[in-house]
Amino acid sequence: MNKTILIIEDDPEINDMLRILLGQNGYRTISAYSGTEGILAHNSEINLILLDLMLPGKRGEEIIGELKKKHNVPVIVMSAIHDVDKKVDMFSLGAEDYITKPFHNDELLARIAVRLRMNTNSGKSENLKYKDIELNTEDFSVICNGVEIELSKHEFALLEMLMENPKRTCTKSMIYDTVWDYENSADDNTLNVHISKLRKKLKKCNPDEEYIETVWGIGYRLKK
């Protein structure tokens, strides 16, 4: 069954753009244009909420708790505010993710896919597969070409994110937010080092295969 996403965004053009984008990617959508309308539209059929902060009447941060209390599903906040403290505030209010405007469509779709997967499989083990790689989310094991490899916490999370989004590019900002969870240590150099180590470990298991490719200026994705 297609997942249903509630879009709470007062800008008609952005709301319509999101509705079309999500529809093209197999999601059902319900649109609301104010905080009050969003609360009224929220029901047990909703699987995820895209929430703008700058809303007429009740602002986005004011209604997160009400939305969660009515039906607890992942909330991805959308805002032009880049302040890290603001993002942390949203998490303390109950939001699961935060994406800054303007955003890349692939990044939004990837974030949605990750949050829906995490919500659906909460507490359940899952095996992810790509080419000859098998990743187990329960015991944090990775087997490549029949060989078990040891990965650090961040290397595992990085590979997991890429395998959860096999057809999409994971942007740098999304990787920092998800893999490093807004740690101050996350930067381009840190990411490049982890990607390099991950590639070397996979290459050691299968020298004839390429797994990760760079999308210059944007991020990384699994090699098609």
Is the pLDDT at 47 greater than 80? The verdict is yes
48 beta partners: 5
Report the distance separating Cα 194 and Cα 191, nearest Å.
5
Tell me the per-residue pLDDT of 58-72, one tens digit each, with 9 for 90 and over: 888 889 999 999 989
- In whole numbers, what is the pLDDT of the chain averaged over residues? 88
Segment 66-86 mean pLDDT? 85
Q: Which residue has the tokens 């659906």?
A: 120
**Cβ-based neighbours of 112, under 8 Å, separated by 6 or more:** 5, 22, 27, 48, 50, 76
Please tell me the predicted confidence (pLDDT) of residue 123: 47
Domains of the chain: 4-120 (3.40.50.2300), 127-222 (1.10.10.10)
User: Whole-model pTM?
Assistant: 0.67
Please tell me the predicted confidence (pLDDT) of residue 184: 57
Tell me the per-residue pLDDT of 99-139, one tens digit each, with 9 for 90 and over: 988 888 988 998 898 888 877 655 444 688 999 999 998 78
